Chain A
Amino acid sequence: MAQARCPMIVIMMQHCLLPVRDTSVMFMLLLVLLAGAFADAVSNSAEAVVFNISNRAVPRLSIRVGSGGSTINRVNFNVSSTAIGDGTPVTGSRQIDFRLVIRAPASSPLTAFLTVDSSTPLDNGSGATIPVSAISWTARDGDIPSGSYAGTSNQLLGSFTSSVRVDDRHTFSYNNQNIYDAGTYNGQVTYTWAAP
């Protein structure tokens, strides 16, 4: 005697704030499972299957600065030879987009802090340096407020409580207040997005 029992699929989703990627995975799994269930039902050979896929809103942080991916974006400041050190600010070559996400269960909210390390000055490879504190930024939205680099290792830029996504765009500027040796000065800052 053939028995056909309908597969039972249980997907437990505890939190509604799902990134697109997670939702896509869920959907793919659901299709695979439904296809399997349909095939089994037709052949009358399936047994009861219980899938328990739990998404319990694992606490999660993500940050993107610039275009994303593995490429580190760079902002260039080209100072005119007729205006070196005259105090006329020099606008950066590009704007930088910021996206911060913090996710956690509503029952256990988290607060995350955005800090930046700008303690290492820019250098021209010949011993001359420019402090990163000569560079500031203007925020389009103010969610990550306008300011300037402090030249320190742990400058607090803002804090946000879960669950939230923060988007902003910064326009950078070099203050051009001093005369420095000729050269190309390179450096980088590191943004840290952390929930203690």
Chain B
Amino acid sequence: MKNIIKQAVTISILWVCATTPATVLAESGSTAGTSGTEMSTSVRLKLRVIIPRFLQFQVGSAGTTADTLTFEAAPGGVGNGVAITGTGGDAAGGSGASVELRSNAGQVSIVADNDGGNGGLGSNGTISLLEITARSDSSDLPTPPLTDAGMASSKATLTGGDVTDRRATWSYEYRNSRTVEPGSYSAEIVYTAVSP
């Protein structure tokens, strides 16, 4: 009987020792010691942040409505070469558009295309889009030039890594270098931001 008792005590002691490590590095840990000695135990917690690819681009007012910039020549100034600023825009005193580009998907290009490739303003491209000068107040977010053929592009400067976070004001002027018949000449410019 003594042997049985000894075995039981021994097994119990071993079990206690096995489940009482001095130092562990896991999610739960414990340690024991004596007074006056340092005790320390550590556990870890994992963290994960998932960031998807995205591209946000805005020209002019927010929402689905496209702003319209109107350039109106005075009756006595048609074709006199004095540039005309516009109205109706949300920036640059109405002659421009506020632009915001945010992305984490690498180098972003911006392409400008005209409506249907008609070659300019008016149903037959009467006024060339070269008569519209577009400028940006930020070299990090330049505006692509407007052309009759369309599809001209520019590149935004990366902020860091694959991230772009840029804002600018694009302003427009009508050069007014030609004398044309009276009327309203319109075109719609579509800007497209493209990431790799």
* Bound: A6/B39 CA distance, A: 42
Residues of B within 8 A of A (CB-CB), count: 45
Would you call A179 and B39 a contact (CB within 8 A)? no
Quick one: which of B31, B48, B105 contacts A74, CB cutoff 8 A? B48
Q: Which residues of A contact B35 (CB under 8 A)?
A: 59, 104-105, 108, 110
User: What 1/0 flags go to A71-114 for Cβ under 8 Å of B?
Assistant: 11111111111101100000000001000010011001010100
Q: Which residues of A contact B29 (CB under 8 A)?
A: 62-64, 193
* CB proximity of A86 to chain B, nearest CB, Å: 9
List residues 17-33 of chain B with CB under 8 A from any CB of chain A.
19, 25-33
CB of B76 within 8 Å of the partner chain: no
Would you call A189 and B45 a contact (CB within 8 A)? yes
Interface size class, chain A: 35 or more
* Bound: A23/B50 CA distance, A: 45
Would you call B16 and A79 a contact (CB within 8 A)? no
Q: List 15 A-B contacts (CB under 8 A).
A: A29-B12, A32-B9, A58-B32, A62-B31, A63-B41, A64-B43, A68-B28, A75-B46, A78-B50, A82-B54, A84-B54, A108-B35, A186-B48, A191-B43, A193-B29
Residues of B within 8 A of A (CB): 1, 4-5, 8-9, 12, 15-16, 19, 25-35, 38-54, 102, 104-105, 159, 161-163, 165
